[in-house]
């Protein structure tokens, strides 16, 4: 199942060809991220939006492993920001984002996906936000004597 899931996921995100991924998902498929849960239609929309916003969009699977009914994919995407994305006008910059997807399957179908990635990495690539901008304030450390 590892190769089927990885291939369908890569075709969807890397090539914008969601058909294989859609055929491999269960009717109750759900994707969880830090912004909430989404169904297949919303994920397909995100894929289409990404391909409209970034030209030369590529996805590289850095690592993929399977343990029982779980496939884990560590991925990297690269694309040139040539269209509006998340309200940000095109910057013309090359954007790199890394993340991981944890995909559960049952009876040969993908039932759920949990995705983690850092949007600050994307915004930093666009030169909109710099990773050092949100440093913790320095605190005064006091000596504690016996």
Domains parsed from the chain with CATH numbers = 2-125 (3.10.450.50)
The pLDDT value given to residue 120: 83
For residue 111, give Cα distances in angstroms to 21, 28, 60, 141, 142. Answer: 12, 7, 23, 49, 52
The pLDDT value given to residue 131: 52
55 is written with which tokens? 């030209």
User: What is the mean pLDDT of the segment spanning 112-138?
Assistant: 75
Residue 52, beta-bridge partner list? none
| 70-86 pLDDT per residue, tens | 999 999 999 999 999 88
Q: How far apart are CA 127 and CA 121, in angstroms?
A: 10
Q: What is the pTM of this model?
A: 0.84
Percentages helix, strand, coil for the chain, rounded to the nearest 5?
30, 40, 30
CB atoms within 10 A of CB 35: 8
| 21-30 pLDDT per residue, tens | 999 999 999 9
What DSSP state is assigned to residue 15?
I
């Amino acid at each position: 199942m590892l190769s089927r899931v990885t291939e369908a996921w890569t075709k969807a995100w890397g090539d914008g060809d969601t058909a294989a991924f859609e055929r491999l998902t269960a009717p109750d498929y759900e994707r969880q991220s830090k912004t909430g849960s989404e169904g297949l239609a919303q994920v397909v929309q995100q894929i289409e939006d990404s391909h409209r916003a970034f030209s030369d969009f590529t996805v590289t699977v850095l690592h993929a492993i399977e343990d029982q009914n779980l496939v884990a994919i560590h991925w990297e995407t690269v694309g040139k920001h040539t269209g509006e994305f998340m309200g940000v006008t095109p910057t013309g910059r090359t954007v790199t984002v890394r993340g991981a997807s944890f995909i559960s399957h049952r009876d040969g179908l993908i039932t759920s996906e949990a995705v983690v990635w850092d949007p600050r990495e994307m915004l930093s690539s666009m030169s909109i936000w710099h990773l050092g901008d949100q440093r913790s304030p320095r605190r005064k450390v006091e000596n504690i004597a016996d």
